[in-house]
Amino acid sequence: MTARITLLDSISDPGNPAKPNDDSFGCNESCAFVIDGATGLGDRQYMDVAGSDAAWIAQHFARGFEDQITRESSISEVARDLSVAARAAFLRHNENVPRYAWPLTAFAMLHQTRNGFHFIGLGDSCVFLLQEDGSATMHMAIPGAYQYEQNQARKHIARTGGITKEGGALGNTETLALLRQHRERQNTPESGVWTLGLVPEAADHLISERLNVRSKAHAIVCSDGLSDLAVLYAAYDSASLVRTARNRGLRPMLDELRHLEREIDPEGLRYPRFKQSDDTTALLVELTLDA
């Protein structure tokens, strides 16, 4: 049995052109993945590279995954080793940084093994899979993550009047306190919310699902920026999202997303969210399985 992942298209775009893109991505002959660095909630930047702590941690894992993952790899072992290294690098000079300021990421990966394909992930990045027969599925580590964030964003917008009001989510004292409280609890058994970052134990909680690809399929691997086209704006379902990317490419879909964010609903009154535009990264891949 021969399994192959072929990269057809990719795009990665900052939500704010004046700020770093906290997303990263990569691929090799055994995997394709997107890593979404979480917006920092600290009072300052702690790592003096990459433009932000979130970009630093996303790039750290992206380099490690691309260099180390093979068909035989245990993704959890690779993730654990990379987390240990990131923790040592960050805490070496920042041992008293509050936990809510620790950098972390979500990720979604397609892993090609000797006997097929698997979705691997943590957090709210995801994979949309379109089979040859037209059936489609969505795969993510935390199925309720989008609804939870939309509900919290709706409360923030009700308090402030819109996404850009009062300095945004990080400028509103109550919203920032709630975001920090939620972030502080991540990567603990009490919260059950696990992400890639400075906590090696998160590697024990990777979500892994075998994908039933019969001979050929197409997939989008993406951060929650692009997935908003389906889960927030409802412009697509899983099948039409992948089919449109396959037929038109990812760039027109990014343009459509930015139009919805910046022109149709710039303040989040219709589509509640914390940012007007989020960093957006996506890969379009073809999966083939030959007997």
Q: Which amino acid is at 3?
A: A
Phi, psi of 139 (to 5 degrees): -130, 125
Domains of the chain with CATH codes: 2-144+192-261+279-290 (3.60.40.10)
Q: What local confidence, expressed as pLDDT, does residue 153 receive? A: 97
- Rounded-to-integer distance, Cα 206 and Cα 202, Å: 7
Q: What local confidence, expressed as pLDDT, does residue 115 receive? A: 82
Q: What local confidence, expressed as pLDDT, does residue 291 receive? A: 63
Please state the pTM of the whole predicted model.
Answer: 0.96
- Give pLDDT tens digits for 167-225: 999 999 999 999 999 999 999 999 999 999 999 999 999 999 999 998 999 999 999 99
Which residues neighbour 165 within 8 Å (Cβ) at sequence distance 6 or greater? 267
- Rounded-to-integer distance, Cα 145 and Cα 135, Å: 23
Q: What local confidence, expressed as pLDDT, does residue 1 receive? A: 63
Parts of the chain with a pLDDT under 70: 1, 291
Please say whether the beta carbons of 120 and 233 come within 8 A.
no
- Rounded-to-integer distance, Cα 234 and Cα 201, Å: 35
